[in-house]
Structure 1
Amino acid sequence: MIDSRPGDMFQPGDLLNNTYRIEALLGRGGTSEVYKARSEISGNPVALKILKQEFSGNEDFTVLMAREENIREIRHDAVVRYSENHRTSDGRIYLLMDYIEGPGLDQKLKEGPMSVEDLMVICRRVSEGLQAAHKRNIVHRDLSPDNIILRGGDPEHAVIIDFGIAKDTNPGAETIVGNEFAGKYSYAAPEQMSGQTDARSDIYSLGALLLANYRGKSPSLGANPMEVVANKQKPLPTEDLPEPFKSLIERMCAPNPMERFQSAGDVLEFLKAPGALPPLTASSVDPLDALLGSPTAPLDEATIITPRSTVSPPLEPPARKEKPEAKGGKGGLIAVALIALLAIGGGGAWFSGALDSLFAPSYPAADPFRLIVERAEGGPVRAAGNVPSEEGHSALMQLVDEGELVLASGEIAETWLRDILYTLEPLAELKDWRLSVENNQASLTGKTSDADLLADLDGFFGGDMPGALVGLVNITYELPLLDHDIPRGIVESLADCGQLTLKGAAVGSGYAPDEALAVSGQVSSTETQIRIFDALSEVADGRPVQLQLDVLNPALCIVEQHLPKAPPGGVSVSYSNGATGDSNPSGRFFVGENPVIDVVLPADLIDGFLTVSILDVTGNVFHLLPNLGRQENSVATLRDGKTGEFPLRVAFSLAASSTGGGIAFAVDDSTLGKSKILILHSDGPLFDGLRPTAESAASFAEALQASASTNAGRILSLDSSILTTAQP
């Protein structure tokens, strides 16, 4: 089990989906966490792989979870049972799996050698599980002691876990093992180092781990990459093994795939009759042919797990300044790293500095021994600090663009430089990262908006620094820029009351991960407002959606969409209560109140003509100026010589209207909602003759269109204000 941290998604005792009570954390990764939980309904323990919330809306990561779910089609007791994906009420996606209680073979490896009898039982059991997986074209690719659990400690009940989709966790295991250099290559078949993987690779890995558990220690691959590659081409040492275990391992772990058992079924046949090795026949189905999609073994794209790159990389130093053509899968990344190290090393020299005492002078001591390598926002790769040898200096300078490196000696592990180069190799496509090292303590941080790259790196590192380096790898996912055209298209398609303004990213650019999608303007209904919010939220990927929309009504919007295009003229509207004379800056009036409306002209508006109308919530238009009772609308006449800011009353109190005339009204419960005051300033009378005091919105819209067609430039400015009526 792993100790919980405050930042974990769940803590022991938490209840997930009202069903699963969290008991312990089993593993952490860059994209997900794995927990042991117990069903509140059945009482059975389960393992839950939970995708981090920031990835739950990202299709790239949900596809990976769906693919892992498809492994549930393997129905065999020797394969961990997957159930299906679920979603919590807050959007988290989790995969339900069996929890396997018992030690892993990695734990047994630490305890010492295992008996041949137990290992033969485990071989049979695991081969049966592999046979079931291979029949469905599923290859594990990473079979190692930590991926086999002995349920209840019994070899008869060995279970294969972690089918290679994500290397961040080992579901159901008591111990989480980081992806150390030896851990990756000790059990890998030789062909995996160049990205080639098929069912025979799993057979090699199973044989290699059985041999390791027999000896009670991991295989020794050599002191440097050249030795690793060379040793992988040699048969494993089996001289001291008893028969038939010796023949079994030799046939499972032949360096040439064609000389191995060709299928898990062949392994099982040998275990039934150890004295007779099955011949290698051409009639046997080649698992590689099956994985490549022969007519007799069609591919299942949803469940096949193979490296995305199957091309052997050239034996050349890595070209850091050119972007690779494709992001290889985990096997490809590892192969490139190892071969790059081999090419850089040359001859038999090793970079750790361990041989300096024999072949080179010693260097001044550095305490602490520090190195920083970083890249910011896609810029150059820079390195500064200490290196332990001239060969190491040369190798590191080939991987960076700028470097200030000082030769020094220090308290560092023998494999320090190898581990540093191994760490740097898969970072070529990562645009923003920092590797900080002090002696053997190290941390790698970074961020990317490439979901595939993050999955590759998460699988490559498994959250831990490699080899002898001690520390964590924390590469986080950052949302990519959201193309401005996507929300703009949504806003334009849903606008139903004039043009809406989308703020934020400029045309041709994109929205940053934390940048809000802000929309302002007018819509005809609350339903439209909700549709805009939902549609933008769907593409926002967690970005805030901010709506500053005036909800009018369909009638108001009819006129709104036919209003002429004219700039504002600085005319404002002042409201007051007709009964009390009190100012009402909000423009909000309740049933029974008498709104008084003043149009306030700026000092520089001294000529032309005014047309003031109110569009109410019923779809009618009332003309406050001019109308049959008040026909004069010349600004000069209305000002009557007054200069400066000029208030012009267009709706009166009930008392003033009864004595001096003029339009007045009181709010009743039939006209609740938003009405709009329109003030049009024109260079001449806007219409031919007077409009009726009241008319429909559609009729007024037609009159505006006719006026605009006669003289498009007649209207000089357009101002407006909202008056709201409501129940008290």
Structure 2
Amino acid sequence: MSTPQAGDIFQPGDLLNNTYRILSLLGRGGTSEVYEARSEVSGRVIAIKALRSEYANNADFLSLMTREEEIRDVRHDAVVRYYDTQRMPNGVVYLVMDYVEGVGLDQKMREGGVEAADLLIIGRRVCEGLIAAHERRIVHRDLSPDNIILRGSNPAEAVIIDFGIAKDTNPGAATIVGNEFAGKYAYAAPEQLRGFSDARTDIYSLGALLLAVFRGKKPDVGKNPVDVVQNKSKPLDVEGVPEPLKSLIARMTDPEPDRRFQSAQDLLAAFRSASAGRSAAPAAAGPLEDATVIAPRVTAGKETATRAPRTTAAKDEGRKGSRILLPAGLALVVAAGTGGYFGGFFEGLLGPSYPLADPFTLTVEKATNASPHAAGNVPSPEMNAALSDRMAALGGNAELSVATGNLAETWSDDVLRAVDAVSGLDEYRVALSNNSIEVSGLAKNRDDLAAAQSDVAALLSGGPLSGTADLRLGPRFLPPADLAPLLETYADCGRLRLLAPPVAGYGFDDRIIVSGTFSSTESRDGLRDAIGAIAGNRSVSVDAELLNPALCEIDAVLPQATPGGFDVHFGFGDRPDPNPSGTYVVGDNPVIDVKLPDEVQDGYLWISIVDVQGIVFHLLPNIARPDNSIASLRSDATDGYIRVAYPLSDASDRSRLAFKVDGSVLGKSKIVVVHSETPLFDELRPTTESAQSFAEAIQEVRNSGGLSVASLDTAMLVTTER
């Protein structure tokens, strides 16, 4: 439970939608906060996840919030229950869900870990919840210790939480959020880094988190994107984990999805076997089938389709129990032929025999800044030589086995076409299973991407191979530092910043969001285009508003201080209604109040309005109210607020500032609230002055080293005709 602060979205005692009473703050994240609340209708205790108002109008963050609500139809005690999403008049969006009282596995991990016996119980319980979600075609994609809570600290009451928003659950974690991949690097399956996810990715993440909680520390996946990709291709170290948990985790976290448990149902069966004392490892392969494998017939020096015929017992299809009797001489010929075949006597006639591979698999892949590698099965020595030569020409290598499989006649030629199509990409992967193919890759530039997409599309269009292609424009990881020079180049109205940049770089499906202000559409659009040129397929959002040059001039000289909780509240001079939007029409009399945070007891407060014409109005201090010390202001405060713009009726003697929207100055004006440790200026500024003179005064103080700003809060006041 966290200590409430003045800047929190809700405060204990607040009533939402005339239904939910806020009881306490449970935790804060980068974009949202979670509260314990009680329904005043039913008395039931629930949890409220609230998205901060500055993100509530952003479609990306809002979609992540509403995605959690979409799992309302998943009904299982191991999955947190979601109920409803509401938007408040002030823009705050909140989600109502079950309140799960207990300890998170992340806390258990910090306390030293959990015993293997309890982890078997937890794994089984979580697996049951995954089955319920997967049956609805919902993949969690972000299973990690902080997303599993033990209700009442009971391993048998584990509950999966947080379907949809990953970043604000653990703000310090490197998290990818995107269309196909939302997960923390430490627990993400290898294929998630390539943008693929299905039920098997949840199985991998569950295994990785069980291992981490057992050891009491999360897996070390490296300190940079290259290390992450390389380490994810390796099996996790399960040494020291007792059986049967060891075998379960090893198979759950196999880097190759096809070698893991293929469904949560299969995994649950393994957990149940382990609980019953049976081996959790996959059953050993049985004896080879009693089948004859005949090598493909060679015609005119070229191999035909490599299909293994079925062995059929000799029987009469028409009458049950009848037998076919062979003459003795013919039986001897068959026996002699069989002996000659297995002895190699007829190898020159029938061609060599190769083992049956089912499934018949082949993978050709190349990582960024690495050499290509081919591994798996090929149907002939000729294909072996052709693919090995291609790998050698590209600076790579091949580990291939000639085998027999149920393949299309043009399988070899089509595979070579696929490899040739992607060989010019920065990274790629061609994976085959029998006649099914998956092609993925990243291109360095749009021309290479277009060429590869065209060639692969032609291959998959009406050909014998069926599958999917996912070819995109790279790079796979984009460090935020690579964008910093662009932000500086295009900044024309104060500092621009990246919103919640991932620690290890933007993942392939991450959205790059820039916040700040501009004075021209040319600068804003230019930055968007410049980032788009190096961002690959990532979506770019420059979520910044246009301000007039006067506002930008002030922003440019103000220090980059953090907000201090001096919230600005708007009202009307002729009625008690609040005005959370800060928008006024001609004839309105704006009233402005500023919150004094409880924890701020010292220093000085400077409050000014910079209007659209470049005029600065000093609301505090001014000639009518020269004392701006926090101590003095508190004596005039009402419920922790000080009023700096009054109703016209309270300012008739000119001892207080008041104004009315008259239509001469319409647009956006900026309210600036500066909390300083010492007075900003040696003498009182005039009540009104130009933005240029005020900016010069601030710059002079900055140059002298006397600008001791503790915090900076801002708000927008908008005036319109109607």
TM range (shorter): 0.3 to 0.5
**Structure label with greater radius of gyration:** 1
Relative to the length of structure 2, the TM-score reads 0.44
TM-score w.r.t. structure 1 length?
0.43
Task: Tell me which of the two structures has the higher relative contact order, counting C-alpha pairs closer than 8 angstroms and 6 or more residues apart.
Answer: 1
